[in-house]
């Protein structure tokens, strides 16, 4: 585990922010010092693990989360209706290289794609996966089973009535 090098982040911030002319930080520049002491760098994965308090698994920093803070520090703003997605799937991580702003829907789809089996444990492979027109995934076996169950229960009811 290594400590975060604040001077390097400051340099990075200067380079990135010079592209947004006239942009001002939405907080005091010294906040980065407070941020850096709560981060430990994982030498293997490169993740910047948050050592401070957590909120729903994400690092919490002041009124915001630690990964949103670092994004704002470097790029000044997060586009409206965008979430910051963790490409490394480590919620505690705030390495900007592991983050990417995505729309909320895209974020949900990505999280769903990490699930390889349906709730009944059928694999989401090429043969067993159906996509609807919105790109949502469904398990083919469960669909078939559901339709069969539905048909059978209809037939049972019909035969009971006669």
- Provide the binding-site residues for Zn ion, judged by CB under 5 A: 47, 88, 90, 93, 95, 98, 118, 120, 122, 139, 141-142
Q: How far is the CB of 97 from Zn ion (least distance, A)?
A: 8
Encoded tokens for 53: 């308090």
Q: How far is the CB of 132 from Zn ion (least distance, A)?
A: 15
Q: CB of 69 within 8 A of CB of 9?
A: no
Encoded tokens for 40: 């430990």
CB of 80 or CB of 132, closer to Zn ion: 132
Encoded tokens for 130: 């159906």
Q: How far is the CB of 24 from Zn ion (least distance, A)?
A: 28
In 3D space, the residue among 93, 97, 143 whose CA is nearest the CA of residue 118 turns out to be 143
The residues pairing with 50 across neighbouring beta strands, listed in sequence order, are 39
Q: How far is the CB of 65 from Zn ion (least distance, A)?
A: 14
Query: In this structure, how many other beta carbons lie within 10 angstroms of the beta carbon of residue 105?
Result: 12
CB of 66 or CB of 95, closer to Zn ion: 95
In 3D space, the residue among 119, 111, 50 whose CA is nearest the CA of residue 86 turns out to be 111
CB of 24 or CB of 56, closer to Zn ion: 56
CB of 64 or CB of 95, closer to Zn ion: 95
CB of 17 or CB of 122, closer to Zn ion: 122
Q: How far is the CB of 152 from Zn ion (least distance, A)?
A: 18
CA dist., res. 43 & res. 89, Å (int):
17
Q: Is 47 helix (H, G, I), strand (E, B) or coil?
A: coil
């Amino acid at each position: 585990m290594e400590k975060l090098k604040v001077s390097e982040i400051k340099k990075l911030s200067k380079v990135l922010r010079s592209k947004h002319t006239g942009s001002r930080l939405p907080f005091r520049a010294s906040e980065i010092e407070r941020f850096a002491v709560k981060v430990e760098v994982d030498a293997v994965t490169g993740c910047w693990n948050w050592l401070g308090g957590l909120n729903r698994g994400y690092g919490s920093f002041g009124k915001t989360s630690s990964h949103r803070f670092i994004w704002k520090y470097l790029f000044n703003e997060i586009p409206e209706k965008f979430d910051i997605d963790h490409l490394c799937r480590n919620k505690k991580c705030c390495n900007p290289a592991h983050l990417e702003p995505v729309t909320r829907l895209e974020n949900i789809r990505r999280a769903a794609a990490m699930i390889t089996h349906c709730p009944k444990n059928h694999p989401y492979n090429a043969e067993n996966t159906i996509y609807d027109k919105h790109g949502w995934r469904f398990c083919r076996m469960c669909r078939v089973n559901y339709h069969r169950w539905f048909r059978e229960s209809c037939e049972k009811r019909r035969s009971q009535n006669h």
